[in-house]
């Protein structure tokens, strides 16, 4: 059992003291929940005191009148504004886009202790021989040599460099993608850079876990797919009944995030019309609006588009227009945002909770391009979500999604979120990575032939609730009700 507990601790990035392991072994049935709670609280070394406090602390009984979310003020803002400029893109726009990506991620890497004695690629000539140096570059090409070594070509504004990673080195070489920015440490000889370590931009461990002072909840859903033959109306009905109920957790709901694919769309894939109950795109959006109109008006609703929605497919995707959602467009509590969106909620008497909402269309191709992800990425999205936080980019692989080169590369994760919310895969996960709560939302749609073709397996009906004052997570299953 201790091996399983150690594996659980490693998965949550937690070290555990000997006495704490003994206590955890005695409460092994609760181990997963306890470790998730400790991870959310930012604990990196688990002690006996931590576990005793969690297991045996007295329950606080609050007296007084029970208040619902409607009694509290709300606030929705942006931690990063994303501008989408409708103009014809040129080669220069793409050059500027990738230069911005390189500069931004280089800035994150330069302060890392692992990267000592940094040198630009142009300073390393073919005949140089240097040890214990580091470089930062964007990956131009990845090849496997006949000896099964990895040969990675890096480039920066000053030049290019071939980096050789010997077979079995196991320093992260099986997680690399073209067009991502990395740091490499090692030695140069005979025109090759022999790598000893790879450094990813990664997010740091937080000094503390952000929480709010008010007893309020945020709810996270995605991939509703109104208009599909496989849309599951019972899930929608049960969800609306719950969110309008007097159930304790429903009364606490103040914020609702919907991460794209609110309709099934028209012409998304060949012969889609045979899979639709609503073949007119405006009818599909009208059905979705009917759903939103039944949500209590004191709940702030954030909605971003996905790849099935009738907006520009290139990312970042602009927000929904009034033409598509005329009935709810001017609702005070409806916030139509871009995909991705970097948001902050409830920054009233505290810093609030930051949320990175991204539909996740890049995930499938990234999973297919990285061998460790191929085994479990589609059914356990937390693995690709953690990897993208380490890479600090939502679509580091060129071609993983359609890109619109705006003034900045808005897919760079330059703001560290408290919550990272995605969808698209129709599977489901709740996890934690270095203090960031990971949520890949379920769907309101059953399994379709198209999903069979692309390798997705639907896990419908699961809705994630985050208690913003504790950062505890609750999952409700509206399919199994």
Task: Give residue-wise pLDDT tens across range 180-220.
Answer: 999 999 998 877 899 999 999 999 999 889 999 999 999 99
Q: Does residue 327 share a domain with residue 244? A: yes
Range in 35-44, 116-125, 287-296, 339-348 with the lowest mean pLDDT: 35-44
Q: Residue 136 belongs to a domain with what CATH number?
A: 2.40.50.140
Q: Residue 239 belongs to a domain with what CATH number?
A: 3.60.21.50
Residue 18 clears pLDDT 60, i.e. is over it: yes
- Please report which residue ranges of 150-299 form alpha helices under DSSP H: 233-243, 248-251, 281-293
CA distances from 444 to 37, 282, 285, 289 (A): 28, 19, 15, 15
- Does a structural domain hold residue 67? no
Averaged pLDDT, 150-163: 93
Q: What is the pTM of this model?
A: 0.85
- Does a structural domain hold residue 61? no
Cα–Cα distance between 338 and 422 in angstroms, integer? 13
Which of 199, 214, 248 is where one domain is finished?
199
* Per-residue pLDDT reduced to its tens digit, 376-385: 888 899 999 9
Burial of 268 by CB count in 10 Å (0-12 exposed, 13-18 middle, 19+ buried)?
middle
65: confidence class by pLDDT, cuts 50, 70, 90: low
Residue 61 clears pLDDT 80, i.e. is over it: no
- What integer pLDDT is reported at residue 285 of this predicted model? 97
Q: Does residue 318 share a domain with residue 195? A: no
* CA nearest neighbour of 218 among 300, 296, 294, 292: 300
Q: Does residue 219 share a domain with residue 153? A: no
Q: Does residue 312 share a domain with residue 252? A: yes
- Cβ atoms within 10 Å of 103's Cβ, excluding its own: 14
- What integer pLDDT is reported at residue 454 of this predicted model? 75
Contact 47, 20 (CB under 8 A): yes
Number of H helices, E strands in the chain: 12, 19
- What integer pLDDT is reported at residue 30 of this predicted model? 67
Which of 173, 199, 225 is where one domain is finished?
199
Averaged pLDDT, 430-459: 89
Query: What are the residues facing 46 on neighbouring strands?
Result: 16
- What integer pLDDT is reported at residue 382 of this predicted model? 96
Q: Which of 161-165, 374-378, 444-448 has the highest mean pLDDT?
A: 161-165
Spell out a b/e string for 108-125, using b for 16 or more CB atoms within 10 Å of the CB, else e: bbeebeebeeebebeebe
CA distances from 63 to 60, 66, 215, 406, 468 (A): 10, 8, 14, 53, 20
Contacts of 218 (CB under 8 A, 6+ apart): 253, 254, 255, 256, 257, 345, 353, 355, 419, 465, 466, 468
Q: Does residue 288 share a domain with residue 245? A: yes
The percentage of residues in the chain with a pLDDT greater than 90, rounded to a whole number, is 70
- What integer pLDDT is reported at residue 421 of this predicted model? 98
* Half-sphere exposure in the Cβ direction for 90 (13 Å, CA): 2
Q: Does residue 216 share a domain with residue 192? A: no
- Does a structural domain hold residue 184? yes
Q: Does residue 411 share a domain with residue 436? A: yes
Cα–Cα distance between 74 and 78 in angstroms, integer? 14
Q: Does residue 350 share a domain with residue 224? A: yes
Q: Which domain holds residue 36?
A: 2-56
- Does a structural domain hold residue 460? yes
28: confidence class by pLDDT, cuts 50, 70, 90: low
- Does a structural domain hold residue 338? yes
Contacts of 220 (CB under 8 A, 6+ apart): 256, 257, 259, 419, 421, 439, 441, 463, 464, 465, 466
58: confidence class by pLDDT, cuts 50, 70, 90: very low
* Per-residue pLDDT reduced to its tens digit, 340-368: 999 999 998 889 999 999 999 999 999 99
Stated as kind and residue range, the H or E segment containing 160 is: strand 159-165
Residue 64 clears pLDDT 60, i.e. is over it: no
Cα–Cα distance between 99 and 91 in angstroms, integer? 12
CA distances from 324 to 219, 327, 426 (A): 24, 9, 24
- Does a structural domain hold residue 169? yes
Residue listed under structure tokens 């408290």: 418
The percentage of residues in the chain with a pLDDT greater than 70, rounded to a whole number, is 94
Which of 172, 199, 226 is where one domain is finished?
199
17: confidence class by pLDDT, cuts 50, 70, 90: confident
- Does a structural domain hold residue 63? no
How many structural domains are present in the chain?
A: 3
Contact 231, 225 (CB under 8 A): yes
Mean pLDDT of the chain: 90
Averaged pLDDT, 265-277: 88
Q: Does residue 82 share a domain with residue 44? A: no
Q: Does residue 411 share a domain with residue 281? A: yes
- Please report which residue ranges of 263-413 form alpha helices under DSSP H: 281-293, 363-369, 371-374, 382-391
Residue listed under structure tokens 């929705």: 76
To 5 degrees, how large is the angle CA 116–CA 120–CA 122?
150
Q: Does residue 395 share a domain with residue 355? A: yes
Bridging pattern class, strands 419-422 and 436-440: parallel
Q: Which region, left, alpha or beta, applies to residue 103 given φ > 0 means left and ψ of -120 to 50 means alpha?
A: alpha
Residue 197 phi, psi dihedral angles, 5° rounding: -155, 155
* CA nearest neighbour of 335 among 381, 295, 366, 365: 295
- Does a structural domain hold residue 97? no
Averaged pLDDT, 423-432: 95
Cα–Cα distance between 470 and 62 in angstroms, integer? 15
Q: Does residue 317 share a domain with residue 445? A: yes
């Amino acid at each position: 059992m201790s091996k399983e507990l150690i594996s659980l601790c490693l998965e949550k990035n937690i070290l555990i003291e000997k006495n704490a392991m003994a206590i955890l072994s005695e409460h092994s049935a609760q181990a997963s929940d306890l470790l998730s709670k400790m991870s959310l609280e930012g604990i990196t070394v688990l002690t006996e005191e931590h576990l005793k406090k969690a297991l045996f602390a007295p329950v606080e009984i609050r007296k007084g009148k029970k208040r619902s979310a409607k009694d509290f003020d709300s606030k929705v803002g942006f931690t990063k504004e994303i501008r989408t400029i409708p103009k014809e893109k040129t080669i220069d726009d793409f050059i500027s886009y990738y230069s911005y990506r390189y500069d931004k991620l280089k800035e994150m890497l330069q302060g890392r202790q692992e990267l000592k004695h940094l040198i630009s690629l142009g300073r390393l000539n073919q005949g140089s021989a240097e040890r214990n140096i580091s470089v930062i570059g964007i990956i131009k090409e990845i090849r496997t040599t006949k000896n099964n070594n990895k040969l990675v070509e890096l480039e920066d504004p000053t030049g290019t460099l071939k980096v050789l990673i010997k077979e079995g080195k196991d320093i992260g070489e099986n997680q690399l993608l073209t067009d991502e920015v990395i740091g490499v440490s090692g030695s140069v000889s005979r025109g090759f850079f022999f790598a000893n370590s790879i450094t990813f931009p990664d997010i740091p461990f937080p000094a503390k876990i952000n929480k709010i002072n008010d007893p309020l909840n945020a709810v996270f859903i995605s991939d509703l797919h109104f208009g599909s033959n496989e849309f599951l109306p019972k899930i929608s009905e049960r969800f609306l009944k719950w969110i309008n109920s007097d159930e304790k957790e429903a009364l606490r709901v103040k914020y609702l995030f919907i991460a794209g694919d609110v309709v099934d769309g028209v012409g998304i894939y060949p012969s889609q019309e045979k899979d639709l109950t609503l073949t007119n795109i405006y009818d599909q959006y009208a059905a979705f609006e009917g759903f939103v109109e039944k949500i209590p008006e004191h709940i702030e609703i954030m909605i971003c588009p996905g790849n099935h929605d009738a907006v520009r497919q290139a990312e970042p995707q602009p927000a929904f227009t009034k033409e598509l959602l005329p009935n709810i467009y001017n609702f005070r509590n409806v916030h139509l945002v871009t995909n991705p969106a970097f948001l902050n909620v409830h920054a009233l008497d505290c810093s609030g909770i930051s949320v990175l909402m991204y539909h996740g269309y890049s995930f499938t191709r990234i999973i297919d391009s990285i061998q460790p992800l191929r085994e479990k990425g589609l059914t356990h999205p937390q693995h690709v979500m953690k990897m993208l936080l380490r890479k600090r980019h939502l679509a580091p692989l060129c071609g993983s999604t359609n890109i619109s080169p705006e003034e900045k590369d808005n897919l760079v994760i330059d703001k560290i979120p408290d919550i990272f919310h995605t969808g698209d895969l129709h599977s489901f996960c709740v996890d934690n990575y270095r203090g960031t709560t990971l949520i890949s939302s379920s769907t309101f749609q059953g399994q379709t032939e198209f999903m069979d073709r692309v390798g997705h397996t639907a896990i419908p009906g699961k809705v994630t609730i985050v208690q913003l004052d504790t950062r505890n997570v609750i999952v409700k299953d509206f399919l199994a009700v």
